[in-house]
C-alpha cells in the first residue's frame, strides 16, 4: 500500500510525509521509530475521548465516564480500528518481528495507530487529531453503553490470571459527603506495580470498578 492509499483510508493527508513514515516504523526496525509519537498519541487519544464523553454524556458520573473511556482506548479497540485501516501492510518492521507475524499483532497495530494520532497532532495540531479520532471512533462512541461493557474488575482479574499473577486487592482510602451523596476513593493494588491505581465513585463497587479500569489502562500501555 503506498502512502496516498493509506492517507485516503485515514482521511488525512500529511503536510510532512516523514511523520507518517515514522509513525509506521516499529522499534524492531531500529531508530528512529514510532515510540515517541505513540507516547504523544496515547495522551491525545485519552484526552479527546474523555472530552467527547464529557461533552456528550452530561448526566454520566465520573466512574461511568472512566469505564467508558477505558473501553474506547483499550488495545483491542485500537487494534480493530488499525486492522480496518489495513495498517499492518504499511508497517515497517525488523526482520524478526516481520517473520513472526508482527504486522498482525494487536499490540504493534495499536501502538502504530496511537503513533499516527501523535503524528497528525504534530503535523496539524489538536483539531486535526480530534477530527481523525471523531471519524474513526464515532460508531464505537455511539454504541458505548455501560450494560454492554464487561466489568472492569473481571477483565483485570482475567488479565492477571492469564499471566499467572496474583489477584488485585482494593482498599477504600477516603470517603466524603453526606450519606446520600457519599463519594468513595479506592486504590487498586497488584504485585507488579508499586503504585496503586485510583478510582472514585458514588459507591464502593463503582470506585473499585473505576480503579480497575485505570489499572487496566496502565497495564495495556506498558505491555
Per residue in 111-155, pLDDT (tens digit) is: 999 999 999 999 999 999 999 999 999 988 887 765 445 678 888
Q: Which of 124, 148, 172 is the last residue of a domain?
A: 148
Instruction: Quote the CA–CA distance of 108 and 94 in Å, as a whole number.
Output: 12
Same domain, 157 and 141: no
In this prediction, residues 179-200 reach a mean pLDDT of 88
Does residue 213 contact residue 207 with C-beta atoms inside 8 Å?
no
Same domain, 95 and 62: yes
Q: Which pLDDT tens digit goes with each residue over 14-66?
A: 999 999 999 999 999 999 999 999 999 999 999 999 999 999 999 887 777 88
Catalytic annotation, residues: 42, 114
Instruction: Quote the CA–CA distance of 176 and 20 in Å, as a whole number.
Output: 47
User: Residue 169: which domain range?
Assistant: 152-222
Same domain, 64 and 170: no
Q: Which pLDDT tens digit goes with each residue over 166-183?
A: 999 999 999 887 766 678
Total of domains in the chain: 2
Interacting residues of 163 by C-beta distance below 8 A, sequence separation 6+: none
Report CA dihedral (34, 35, 40, 46) to the nearest 10 degrees: 110
Q: Which of 114, 148, 182 is the last residue of a domain?
A: 148
Same domain, 126 and 79: yes
Amino acid at each position: 500500500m503506498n502512502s496516498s492509499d493509506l492517507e485516503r483510508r485515514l482521511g488525512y493527508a500529511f503536510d510532512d510525509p516523514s511523520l507518517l513514515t515514522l509513525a509506521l516504523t516499529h522499534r524492531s526496525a531500529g531508530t528512529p521509530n514510532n515510540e515517541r509519537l505513540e507516547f504523544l498519541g496515547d495522551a491525545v487519544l485519552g484526552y479527546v475521548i474523555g472530552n467527547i464523553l464529557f461533552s456528550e454524556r452530561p448526566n454520566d458520573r465520573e466512574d461511568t465516564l472512566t469505564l467508558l473511556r477505558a473501553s474506547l482506548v483499550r488495545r483491542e479497540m485500537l487494534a480493530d480500528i488499525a486492522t480496518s485501516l489495513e495498517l499492518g501492510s504499511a508497517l515497517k518492521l525488523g526482520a524478526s518481528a516481520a517473520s513472526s507475524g508482527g504486522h498482525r499483532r494487536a499490540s504493534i497495530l495499536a501502538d502504530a495507530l496511537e503513533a499516527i494520532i501523535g503524528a497528525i497532532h504534530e503535523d496539524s495540531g489538536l483539531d486535526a487529531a480530534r477530527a481523525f479520532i471523531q471519524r474513526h471512533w464515532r460508531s464505537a462512541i455511539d454504541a458505548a453503553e455501560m450494560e454492554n461493557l464487561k466489568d472492569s474488575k473481571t477483565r483485570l482479574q482475567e488479565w492477571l490470571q492469564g499471566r499467572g499473577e496474583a489477584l488485585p486487592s482494593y482498599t477504600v482510602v477516603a470517603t466524603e459527603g453526606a450519606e446520600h451523596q457519599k463519594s468513595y476513593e479506592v486504590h487498586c493494588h497488584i504485585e507488579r506495580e508499586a503504585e496503586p491505581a485510583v478510582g472514585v465513585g458514588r459507591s464502593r463497587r463503582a470506585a473499585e470498578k473505576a480503579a480497575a479500569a485505570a489499572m487496566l489502562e496502565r497495564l495495556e500501555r506498558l505491555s
